[in-house]
Amino acid sequence: MDPIEEHSCKKCDLLIGKIPIDAIVRILKEISLINKNNESWWDKNVNSRMTEFKDWIGDSTCPSKVAVRKYVAYKNYQSILDCGCGLCSEYFGYEQDGYRISYTGLDSCAGLVEKDVEKGINVKHGSIEEIPLGDNSIEVTFARHVLEHIFGYEKALTEMIRVANKEAIVVFFIQPINSVPVASDFFKYDAVEEIWHNQYQKSLIEYFIFSNPKVASVSWEDMPHTKESVLHIEIRQ
């Protein structure tokens, strides 16, 4: 279970239309609704709530992780960037599957990166919104349960597409919805935990993605048993 579901706390629910995201973040920081140092939930809680964190993210046997690994193997991808890799369960998942792939992890939490590097895993410290890799440098970029926890998906998807040369894959644990008529994205902020829990509009995501000239196609796969959605963004060759 997500930690913010286990704590009684003050929440801020926002319906945001055409107001620029950067402007809203600046306003929220000024009124101290978002911490000014950009310190994440992970940075503040990685040591004191590690057991809870492990239970939340799950191990390599989680159905959506297994499904994506099978898909990656089917496509014969040879390199992957795991954005928001945490404890690198997917590194061990591919190893257990016997599938040889060049794995790079990326996480914004220095404490988690340190733990991963100590295990000999290739993990970089950085943000999914500013990936420290070159254009077209990885065949497939992957993010699971990440975009709901940041304020908007635009920067993250732009970076995932920039770095990928074949595909970007995103797993949402809060399924994007198709409202008719199209509504705004729904932003839910936990002011105590200082973490986002957002639900996005599928059509708005697709519209944004197709504005990128690198994108060839977009497809979705819903996982009814886990209520997750998998977004596939194929890169133009």
SS3 readout for 143-183? EECCHHHCCCCHHHHHHHHHHEEEEEEEEECCCCECCCCCC
Per-residue pLDDT at 33 exceeds 70: no
Sign of the C-alpha dihedral computed for residues 60, 66, 69 and 74 taken in this order: positive
Task: Pick the closest to residue 149 from 63, 78, 217, 56 (CA basis).
Answer: 56
pLDDT at 137: 98
Task: Report the C-alpha gap between 197 and 132 in whole angstroms.
Answer: 25
Task: Report the C-alpha gap between 71 and 84 in whole angstroms.
Answer: 19
Q: CB within 8 A of 207, min separation 6: which ones?
A: none
State the residue for tokens 């973490």: 195
What is the domain partition of the chain in residue ranges? 3-235
Specify whether the CB–CB gap between 29 and 21 falls below 8 A.
no
**How large is the average pLDDT for residues 72-82?**
98
pLDDT at 28: 59
Q: Where are the beta strands (DSSP E) in 62-163?
A: 79-83, 102-107, 123-125, 138-144
**How large is the average pLDDT for residues 165-184?**
89
Per-residue pLDDT at 186 exceeds 90: no
Per-residue pLDDT at 12 exceeds 60: no
Take residue 87 and report the two structure tokens written for it: 């404890």
More confident: 45 or 108: 108
* 160-173 residue pLDDT tens: 999 999 999 999 99
3-235: CATH number:
3.40.50.150
- The confidence band for 58, taking pLDDT boundaries of 50, 70 and 90, is confident
* 188-230 residue pLDDT tens: 877 777 778 899 999 999 999 999 999 999 999 999 889 999 9
More confident: 211 or 38: 211
In the Cβ-directed half-sphere of 155, how many Cα atoms lie within 13 Å? 13
pLDDT at 52: 79
Q: Calculate the alpha carbon distances from 151 to 61, 84, 116, 131, 165 in Å.
A: 29, 15, 26, 16, 26
pTM of the model: 0.85
Tell me if residue 80 falls in helix, strand or coil. strand
